[in-house]
Structure 1
């Protein structure tokens, strides 16, 4: 990549040097790209480089082993939503998750489309239920795209497709009520909306978040980056207060 001009979703901004920052942004065709932005902490650039904002990004790099230089022009700001505790927590979590888990410069067009739609929903849905289901589905998609997908179409024990109500934490496969009842305290719940299109209640949504949170922690955050999962805890706690 000698040069690239593309739309990008800002996912993380890490200060570097006195005035610059290393910015990781998700692009439609080139995946997650890191770039160094000069003057990133200036009054002009701070409102541009907010995680969840969409920018027109220009990358330049002289050699393959060099960090690209990046300039960014704001296309869509989500800064106004940072004052809303629930929306802010959701925006923080999904962008931090994306930045922390995706390898750089691998194309994930489905993830880009899903993240873009999720961010729009967080900022425009009339209620949190309007985007909470999309959040669970995004986390599932990310797991799948990175090789840790769940298998929910048939029972891991019997091979049957009926009465699937549990998920095995070991195999990430569905388990039927009959096969899993004796071990139900050790199994994860399988909300119906993860198998079919449905309009779930909050209990099912929180069960979905419990499932995806379990596998995200296992595969990506068991021994590192606890600060990223802390952002998820803040989000789930705020969701619970909304529906209490």
Structure 2
């Protein structure tokens, strides 16, 4: 069995003395793992960093085996991330969430394309946090837990949307919320596409999307906690100086 694809490197771990097991996200083969022989060498190790774009050739005797990768670098994103703490935290959040949420070997080509575009925006750190928020909304939608913020779930109105139902992910107006407002999640204007939005505004919106990651998506995956990298990114984003 063998195939060739491009992919985003999500994480690595040592395997024996000189090899690595790498986990990648590819458009045609989804989240996939395999062994890279000599992956810890001086020649390969600098290219096998999370977020790197790789040309991959996977081989295995049987389809359900771990198999081995030949990995050739296409482009590195390490320089853009290492030059800015917020960018590095964001890169770690993306790769950790993809590893956490994606089913093994299940293709998600639309999400792959969005993820690749997001990571390619890393050098533009002023634009990146908003792009990340939109990516996280797309991730929820791809996994079957998308939010419906187009109209009020109670009244059907499209104006004065102020809350999100923590159970359904649907928007609610102030009038529709009534005495139940304190039971609902805030709906920051940035989630409705309203500009401008600074980094603390985006961090607030990510706390709302985080509810659906933690309380809807994570339980469907075995009720594991979300990767700490996401919380670290939001904490850094929330600082006034982060922008």
| 2:91 paired residue number | 91
Confirm or deny: 8 A CA contact 1:158 1:179 kept in the other structure: yes
Alignment partner of 2:172 out of 175, 200, 215:
175
| 1:75 paired residue number | 74
Per the TM alignment, residue 79 of structure 1 is displaced from its structure 2 partner at its CA by 2.1
Cα distance per residue 1:167-200 (max 9 Å; x no partner): 0111111111101142222211212333346442
Q: CA RMSD in A?
A: 2.0
Cα distance per residue 1:76-106 (max 9 Å; x no partner): 1122232532211111110111011101222
Confirm or deny: 8 A CA contact 1:31 1:107 kept in the other structure: yes
Cα distance per residue 1:54-97 (max 9 Å; x no partner): 01111112112211211111111122232532211111110111
SS in 2 for 1:47: helix
| 1:8 paired residue number | 7
| 1:166 paired residue number | 163
94-103 vs 181-190, greater mean Cα deviation: 181-190
| 2:102 paired residue number | 102
1:192 & 1:157 partners in 2: Cα distance? 19
| 1:135 paired residue number | 132
Per the TM alignment, residue 30 of structure 1 is displaced from its structure 2 partner at its CA by 2.4
| 1:239 paired residue number | 237
76-85 vs 54-63, greater mean Cα deviation: 76-85
2:15 equivalent to 1:24: no
Runs of 4+ in 1 over 6 A off after TM superposition: none
| 1:200 paired residue number | 197
Per the TM alignment, residue 20 of structure 1 is displaced from its structure 2 partner at its CA by 2.2
Cα distance per residue 1:218-244 (max 9 Å; x no partner): 234464245x1x111211122223248
TM (norm. structure 1) is 0.89
2:193 & 2:199 partners in 1: Cα distance? 16
| 2:62 paired residue number | 63
2:59 & 2:88 partners in 1: Cα distance? 31
Relative to structure 1, the CA distance from residue 133 to residue 215 in structure 2 (aligned partners, 3 Å threshold; closer, same or farther) is same
